[in-house]
Amino acid sequence: MAIEGNGITIDYTFTPVGGSNSPDVATLISGSALVNLNWSDVTSFTVTSSSGSLFGFDNLVVNNTFATPDFSMEAINISPNPVENILFIENATDIKSINVFNKIGQLVFERKNEKLDFNNLPNGLYFLKLETETGITTKKI
């Protein structure tokens, strides 16, 4: 999930209920953060902030997977990053989908090929979610 603020630094603690998972802390720096919670057997969770500030979720996605992690996703290369025009995805096999989100979690575009055109997008922070036959990975662009 992506978190957005007003250019301040805030720690958000995500505390799971159920399973034997530890809380995760995401630090909002200069207005954004990406949180990837890899918990199992969680029935719910709470979120608190270090400053007591208010927050909300937009486009919250919960994936329920039963497979073990596939470390072949670590071999995927995204370049150049930062991107000026075209972003290339290398070492990704059997791409199912590529989704690009802005810093507040809105879907900007979807593709299925290894060449992504960023020419028509304003400068800023984006998140690329890549799904292949072996798993899902998210990269900050």
Query: In degrees rounded to 5, what are phi and psi of residue 14?
Result: -100, 115
pLDDT, tens digit (0-9, with 9 covering 90-100), for 23-35: 888 777 666 666 7
Looking at every residue in the chain, the average pLDDT score rounds to: 78
Residue 74 CA to residue 44 CA, distance in Å, equals: 29
What average pLDDT does this structure show over 121-133?
A: 89
Which regions of the chain carry the CATH code 2.60.40.3080?
A: 71-140
What average pLDDT does this structure show over 98-108?
A: 89
The residues with which 28 forms a beta bridge, in sequence order, are: 10
Query: In degrees rounded to 5, what are phi and psi of residue 75?
Result: -80, -10
What average pLDDT does this structure show over 13-28?
A: 83
Q: Is the pLDDT of residue 79 over 80?
A: yes
Are the C-beta atoms of residues 114 and 79 closer than 8 Å to each other? no
Confidence (pTM): 0.51
CATH topology of domain 71-140: Immunoglobulin-like (2.60.40)
> Comparing C-alpha atoms, which of 5, 108, 126, 104 is closest to residue 58?
104
What average pLDDT does this structure show over 113-138?
A: 89
Residue 112 CA to residue 132 CA, distance in Å, equals: 10
